[in-house]
Amino acid sequence: MIETGSLYDRWQLMGEGHDTTSTALLFTLMLLANHQEEQNKAFEECFRIFGTSKRTATMSDLAEMKYLESCIKESLRLYPPVYYISRSCDEPLYLKNYKCPPGIDCGILIIDLHRRSDQFVEPMRFRPERFMEEPTWHPFAYIPFSAGHRNCIGQKFAMMEMKLVLSAVLRKYRLLPVTKPQDIRFILDIILRPKDPIYVKFEERFTI
């Protein structure tokens, strides 16, 4: 028997990740539509795994989707749904010429951190391959799910969700660009939201 508190935790895990995961999917679809070479690589990976089968992806299938996972990670780098977090200092923090005493709240603008040229080569370029190579950036320069003891407990679940959805879409449709990355404007909200709708054209594939 599941206790009431335990059941709530499970629903909380599902519910609280809804907006962030759907937003991440939106930006990933848009990026793949605008980068046909990368989209083709992700599709070819799916085709190697599934062939012409229409079966549902299994856990072992998801584990094989290395390139698709890199596409998701690169999308999360450029467009982190949780683009801002704050943390309270429990001990003195020194930032160059500044000292933050204990009890001070520090804001971390993740979207800016992810686009720093001193951490990422060609930071504004969508290049999933960077996540298939040895990292050259600081471990805390890429934190789409936060980091440390307060990181997102649902990050593995979210990655599985996104790989499941994106692989299903790519197996059936070719994504064509409508909205361009350079045209996107954001509004201030709890999560990263576009000011205007983002559009992607879905063209049915006839090879599978």
Task: Please report whether residue 94 resides in a domain.
Answer: no
Task: Please report whether residue 2 resides in a domain.
Answer: no
Residue pointed to by tokens 């190697």? 48
Task: Please report whether residue 134 resides in a domain.
Answer: yes
Q: What is the pTM of this model?
A: 0.89
User: Is residue 133 predicted with pLDDT exceeding 70?
Assistant: yes
Task: Please report whether residue 37 resides in a domain.
Answer: yes
pLDDT tens string 141-190? 999 998 888 788 888 999 999 999 999 999 999 999 999 999 999 998 88
Task: Please report whether residue 180 resides in a domain.
Answer: yes
Give the range of the structural domain holding residue 129, as residue numbers without chain letter: 18-81+125-204
Q: Which residues are annotated as a binding site for heme?
A: 152
Task: Indicate the pairing of strand 84-88 with strand 105-109.
Answer: antiparallel
Percent share of the chain, pLDDT over 90: 74
Q: Return the ∠ at Cα 157 (arms to 58 and 111), rounded to 5°.
A: 130
Q: What is the rounded CA–CA span in Å between residue 70 and residue 83? A: 19
Task: Please report whether residue 113 resides in a domain.
Answer: no
User: Is residue 207 predicted with pLDDT exceeding 70?
Assistant: no
Task: Please report whether residue 38 resides in a domain.
Answer: yes
Residue 38: CATH number of its domain: 1.10.630.10
Give the number of domains in the chain: 1
SS3 140: coil
Q: Which residues are annotated as a binding site?
A: 152
Cα 96 to Cα 99, 113, 147, distances in angstroms: 8, 17, 22
Task: Please report whether residue 13 resides in a domain.
Answer: no
